[in-house]
Amino acid sequence: MYVRRSPEAIVVQAPAKLNLHFEVLGRRPDGFHEVETFITAISLFDTLAFFHSSPQTEQAGLQRTVDFAGDWVPGMRGYFHSPAGDSTGDLQTALGDLPEPSDNIVVKAIELLSQRAGTEKSAVVRLVKRIPSSAGLGGGSSDAAAALVAANLAWNLGWSQERLASLAADLGSDVPFYFTRGAAICRGRGERLESLENGQHFHFVVVRPPQGLSTADVYRNCQPAKTPVSIGPLLEAWRNGCPYRLGSMLMNRLQEPAAKMCSWVGRLRNAMKQLEVPGHQMTGSGSSYFAICHNARHAQHTASRLRAQRLGQVFHATSVHIPLN
């Protein structure tokens, strides 16, 4: 996580993610699915500001709130910027349906850490949303990891990254990923990690169409692989650093059922086919779709062409390294 401190708050940038390989191996006794996926963090960020508690706040009793915001973070104006707008209403339109603050995974993360650490300190959080919801981009999971990092620092708990990552698995399958260095193979239901050094710098264009998808519904309509696709060739292409080789190895077992549920997935696939990109596919359980590009200039050109088609929100992002705090 990218952490900065201001006099008022601890501020964490929480990155989105893309799944470059996603194989569904079978259904587990606990109701989850056994998966094998390769994930990279990308340069599209939510921003979480965890306000320092004051003696007056502590004396007033336990206070835990999350506020969805536009582009204001204490002490950080000019560094963090949200294109979504300055009000919750604007965010709702731009990013899809946002949960009520009390139902947000950020609150659940703070409550869980408080319970396990045996503390009742206050938490006032401002969450700037840029990562669309119900999009396969891992925004909620990243926000939860950011909340654990920020609360651990604000409350002076001294928990290690390993201990926080272990707790993260109780919040969701993708949350532990954000305690890696930005690239990892995830197995089990996603919580068993093989972290990789993220030294590569690939350029992506990501489109989030107007319609989102429910992860549970997509899995429910997915048939596990009879003959699983090996992750090995994609890992080799990743390490090689060649966009063409990486693009030819993309796969996502969830894309077919998602396309049956959401016509936008097929529309985006057809639009990408018309572009000269090394590879393209849906990320996670959708509905976002991405293309690998040759370089920054190619990505900017591709993004412009896709914006002209009005297919949804379009982002140019790169793979990023996540520093471990």
Answer yes or no: is 299 within a domain: yes
**Domain termination site, one of 180, 196, 212:** 196
| pLDDT at residue 40 is higher than 50 | yes
User: Active site residue: 17, 46, 121, 129, which one?
Assistant: 17
Whole-number average pLDDT of the chain? 87
Asked whether residue 173 falls in the same domain as residue 88, the answer is yes
State the pLDDT confidence band at 95, using cuts at 50, 70 and 90.
low
Statement to judge: residues 188 and 213 lie in one domain: no
Q: Is 30 exposed, middle or buried (0-12, 13-18, 19+ CB in 10 A)?
A: exposed
Do 21 and 117 share a structural domain? yes
Q: What would the pLDDT profile of 168-195 be if each residue is shown by its tens digit? A: 999 999 999 999 999 999 999 888 999 9
What is the number of other CB atoms lying within 10 angstroms of the CB of residue 299? 22
For 243, the enclosing helix (H) or strand (E) is helix 243-248
Q: Do the Cβ atoms of 113 and 167 come closer than 8 Å? A: yes
Say if 325 falls within a structural domain: no
Q: To the nearest whole percent, how much of the chain has pLDDT over 90?
A: 70
Confidence of residue 198 (pLDDT cuts 50, 70, 90): low
Does one domain contain both 86 and 155? yes
Same domain, 55 and 168: yes
| 79-88, 109-118, 190-199, 200-209: least confident range | 79-88
Average pLDDT over residues 27-56: 87
Position 274 in a domain: yes
Residue 98 lies in a domain: yes
Same domain, 256 and 132: no
Bigger pLDDT: 70 or 123? 123
Residue 103 confidence (pLDDT) above 90 = no
pLDDT of residue 54: 54
In a domain, 78, yes or no: yes
Query: Residue 320's pLDDT band (boundaries 50, 70, 90)?
Result: very high
From 177, 196, 215, give the residue that closes a domain.
Answer: 196
Within a 10 A sphere around the Cβ of 90, how many other Cβ atoms?
14
Residue 140 has pLDDT above 80, yes or no: yes
Take residue 156 and report the two structure tokens written for it. Answer: 């002076």
pLDDT of residue 97: 58
* Catalytic-residue membership of 174: yes
Output the pLDDT for position 32. 87
Give the phi and the psi of residue 295 in degrees, each rounded to 5.
Answer: -160, -175
Residue 100 has pLDDT above 90, yes or no: no
Of 67, 281, 283, 310, whose CA–CA distance to 210 is shortest? 310
17 is catalytic: yes
pLDDT digits (tens, 9 = 90+) for 236-246: 999 999 999 99
This prediction has a pTM of: 0.89
The Cα 184–Cα 169 span in angstroms is 15
Residue 129 and residue 34 in one domain: yes
Question: Each residue of 242-297: pLDDT tens digit?
Answer: 999 999 999 999 999 999 999 999 999 999 999 999 999 999 999 999 999 999 99
Same domain, 264 and 189: no
Tell me: do 115 and 231 sit in the same domain: no
Single out the catalytic residue among 121, 174, 226, 273.
Answer: 174
323 domain-assigned: no
Residue range(s) defining the domain that contains residue 230: 203-318
Query: Looking at the 3D structure of the chain, how many domains does it have?
Result: 2
Same domain, 208 and 107: no
The better pLDDT of the pair 73, 122 is held by 122
25 and 106 housed in the same domain: yes
- 34 within a domain of the structure (yes/no): yes
Q: Please identify, among 141, 174, 196, the residue that sits at the C-terminal boundary of a domain.
A: 196
Note whether 106 and 163 are same-domain residues.
yes
What is the band of 50 on the pLDDT scale with cuts at 50, 70, 90?
very high
